[in-house]
A and B are shown apart, each in its own frame.
Chain A
Amino acid sequence: DIVMTQSPDSLAVSLGERATIDCKSSQSVLYSSDNKNYLAWYQHKPGQPPKLLIYWASTRESGVPDRFSGSGSGTDFTLTISSLQAEDVAVYYCQQFYITPPTFGQGTKVEIK
């Protein structure tokens, strides 16, 4: 199985400041046939279902604010929230869907400083 490791486990950021979450996979999730990274980011708030933010490592899902961006390739990925808003408080997960079983990182809790 591909192991996904996120860092940090938690971070506190001031409103309007940048939040950065890293995700590392134990093997590449870049598919050479289509040159796509099979990597997604989800936002999960208590009492709600997870919400898909980013897929193919950097494609923003429809309706997701442009302060959310994804980058990286191969084994190293980053989710950036450019200007943290109060409604962004949540746990964020990366997930690879390149190889079954699809696996999630352990999650990163984002809070307001």
Chain B
Amino acid sequence: QVHLVESGGGVVQPGGSLRLSCAASAFTFSSYGMHWVRQAPGKGLEWVAFIRFDGSNKNYADSVQGRFTISRDNSKNTLYLQMNSLRAEDTAIYFCAKDRLPLGYCNGGSCYPADYWGQGTLVTVSS
């Protein structure tokens, strides 16, 4: 069974940094594009970033562009999200999720919806 486990969340002051990790298992991680999606308290889902299966292309939401960096280590089956210059509005549960089908890359981004999601990790930005 596909398993995605996020870690690295916590409380950080505005302007601070955090690195989230997502450990993947039970599928060929190196063949799948991966996403980070977040949900702020009382709000809906917001897509944050996508990385192509081989790490060669990355996309970001405007709200995090220039502050967040998505990366992956296919040898460790792990996805990362480096978050810098954090703001109060970045407070959210962060989910990692995998593309539904492998090797997808269309129109400069993902071709597919996300079929498996982790349980999420909470990031709180507060002084």
A interface residues (Cβ-Cβ under 8 A, vs B): 1, 38, 40, 42, 44, 48-52, 55, 61, 91, 93, 95, 97-107
Chain A interface helix/strand/loop/mixed: loop
Residues of B in contact with A (beta carbons under 8 Å apart): 35, 37, 44-47, 50, 59-62, 95, 97, 100, 107-115, 117-120
Within the complex, the shortest CB–CB distance from A34 to chain B, in Å, comes to 10
Q: Would you give the shortest CB distance from B60 to chain A, in whole angstroms? A: 8
Q: Which residues of A contact B100 (CB under 8 A)?
A: 52, 55
* Known contacts A50-B117, A52-B114, A55-B113; A100 and B108 CB within 8 A of each other: yes
Knowing A49-B95, A49-B118, A49-B119 touch, does A100 contact B59 (C-beta < 8 A)? Answer: yes
| Contact assessment for B44 and A102 in the assembled complex, using a CB-CB cutoff below 8 Å | no
Chain A's closest residue to B95 (CB) is A49
Point out the residue from A52, A99, A103 that lies within 8 Å of B113, measured CB to CB: A52
Tell me if A93 and B113 are in contact (CB < 8 A): no
**Contact between chains at A55 and B112 (CB < 8 Å):** yes
